[in-house]
Amino acid sequence: MKLKSLFLAVLLLAPLASVAQDSAASGLSLPKWALKTNVAYWGTATPNLGIEVGLSRKLTLDVESGYNMFSFSKGKKWRHWMVTPELRWWMCDRFNGHFFGVHAIGGEYNVNRLGFNDHTKKNRYEGYMLGGGLSYGYHWVFRKRWAVEAELGVGYLHLDYDRYDCRKCGNYASHEIRNLFTVTRLGINVIYLLK
């Protein structure tokens, strides 16, 4: 638990320790900060918020987090928290056009009776996830301070969880570990740019 808490603290405090560099050398007035929310993530009923800070003319650090505390009818739940920091390299200037990223992912989950497949209909899964991957995205500025970006990332995901049988009032069934190559980032972000 201490290792997970330390990992979360580093992920959340990383952008605060970064100092955004001014782009005066290039003669441009580039945004230094961005606040964002992932519309696709809201589609899973998960409130989320992200912050991105400019590190140089072509590099930014993006940290996004989501927390879902909701339970639904008939014992269904999709409770989880997740943090995903990402270092981005921009092909043009930061917060404009194409970018490539390297990201990490960490979080905990408690999922019960969701209709994705037979396993999730009949079982509850409670555990944590760690992973990372590579991503590509595109950022469109449509107003002075407003933008939209789309992003897709793939990579490795380590799942460590306990499985409970839903048919017998949640009796413990097993401890399982899975390692996957999968989609690790999917976003349609609405962004507010700060100078």
Domain membership of residue 172 (yes or no) is yes
Can you give the pLDDT at residue 172? 85
C-alpha 127, offset from chain centre: 17
Domain membership of residue 64 (yes or no) is yes
Give 42-64 pLDDT, tens digit per residue.
988 899 999 999 999 999 999 99
pLDDT tens by residue, the chain, 195 residues: 555 555 545 444 444 444 333 334 444 578 899 999 999 999 888 999 999 999 999 999 999 999 998 777 777 778 899 999 999 999 999 999 999 999 999 999 988 876 666 666 778 889 999 999 999 999 999 888 999 999 999 999 999 999 988 766 678 889 999 999 999 999 999 999 998
Helix (H) or strand (E) run with residue 28 in it: none
Domain membership of residue 26 (yes or no) is no
118: exposed, middle or buried (C-beta count within 10 Å: 0-12, 13-18, 19+)?
exposed
Using alpha carbons, select from 135, 68, 67, 130 the residue that is nearest to residue 104: 130
Domain membership of residue 52 (yes or no) is yes
Can you give the pLDDT at residue 167? 65
DSSP state string for 47-95: -EEEEEEE-SSSEEEEEEEEEE--B-GGG-EEEEEEEEEEEEEESSSTT
Count of domains observed in the chain? 1
The answer to whether 87 touches 54, Cβ cutoff 8 Å, is no
* H helix runs in the chain, sequence order: 2-17, 39-42, 118-122
Domain membership of residue 48 (yes or no) is yes
pTM reported for the whole predicted model: 0.80
CATH classification at residue 165:
2.40.160
Domain membership of residue 25 (yes or no) is no
Domain membership of residue 190 (yes or no) is yes
Q: How far apart are CA 23 and CA 29, in angstroms?
A: 6
What residue has token string 């603290």?
9
Domain membership of residue 23 (yes or no) is no
Domain holding 91, by residue range, is 2-15+31-194
